[in-house]
Amino acid sequence: MKARLVPVYYLSADDEDFKNQLAILKSLLADDAEFLPPAALGQPLPEAEAALFPQMLGVAYSKLPAFKAMTLPLLVLTSPFGTVNMWDWEIVSYLRSEGINILAPNTLEQSKLVIRMLTVKRELASTTFLVFQDNPGEGFQADIFKRFYWWEEQCLDVIKSKFGVKIVKKSFKILGAEAKALPDSLAKETLAKWDIPSEGLSERAVLSAVKMYLALKKEAEADPSIKSMGINCLNESRSSDTTPCLAWDLLFQEKGIIWGCEADLMVMVTKYLMYKSLGAPIMMTNIYPFLMGKAALKHERIPNFPEIVEDPDNHLLLAHCGYFGVVPRPFATSWTLKPKVLAIVDENAHAQDARMAAGPVTLTKLDPRLEKVLSMEG
Asked if residue 254 belongs to a domain, the reply is yes
* CATH number reported for the structural domain that contains residue 34 in this entry: 3.40.50.2300
Asked if residue 86 belongs to a domain, the reply is yes
- Report pLDDT for 139: 81
> pLDDT for 91-101, tens place per residue?
999 999 999 98
Whether residues 113 and 175 fall in one domain = no
Whether residues 87 and 148 fall in one domain = no
Q: Which helix (H) or strand (E) holds 290?
A: none
What total of structural domains would you count in the chain? 2
Alpha helices in 223-321 (DSSP H): 245-255, 265-278, 294-300
Whether residues 87 and 133 fall in one domain = no
User: CA 240, 245, 246: angle at the middle one, nearest 5?
Assistant: 105
Whether residues 191 and 169 fall in one domain = yes
Asked if residue 237 belongs to a domain, the reply is yes
Asked if residue 271 belongs to a domain, the reply is yes
Whether residues 166 and 92 fall in one domain = no
Would you give per-residue pLDDT tens digits along the chain (378 residues)? 999 999 999 989 999 999 999 999 999 999 999 999 999 999 999 999 999 999 999 999 999 999 999 999 999 999 999 999 999 999 999 999 999 989 999 999 999 999 999 999 999 999 999 999 999 888 888 888 888 999 999 999 999 999 999 999 999 999 999 999 999 999 999 999 999 999 999 999 999 999 999 999 999 999 999 999 999 999 999 999 999 999 999 999 999 999 999 999 999 999 999 999 999 999 999 998 888 888 877 777 788 888 886 888 888 889 899 899 999 999 999 999 999 999 999 999 999 999 999 999 999 999 999 999 999 888
Asked if residue 298 belongs to a domain, the reply is no
| DSSP bridge pairs for 375 | 364
Whether residues 176 and 45 fall in one domain = no
Structural domain boundaries enclosing 214? 125-285+320-377
Whether residues 111 and 165 fall in one domain = no
Q: Quick one: which of 258, 253, 255, 260 has its CA closest to 273?
A: 258
Whether residues 10 and 132 fall in one domain = no
Whether residues 101 and 191 fall in one domain = no
Domain final residue pick, 118, 143, 161: 118
- Report pLDDT for 295: 82
Residues 356, 328: contact at Cβ < 8 Å?
A: no
Whether residues 274 and 372 fall in one domain = yes
Whether residues 236 and 177 fall in one domain = yes
Whether residues 52 and 165 fall in one domain = no
CB atoms under 10 Å from CB of 11, counted, come to 13
Average of per-residue pLDDT values in the chain:
95
> pLDDT for 331-358, tens place per residue?
999 999 999 999 999 999 999 999 999 9
Rounded alpha-carbon distances, angstroms, from residue 51 to 148, 276, 362, 365, 366:
36, 22, 29, 26, 23
Asked if residue 35 belongs to a domain, the reply is yes
- Report pLDDT for 303: 84
- Report pLDDT for 317: 87
Domain final residue pick, 118, 139, 172: 118
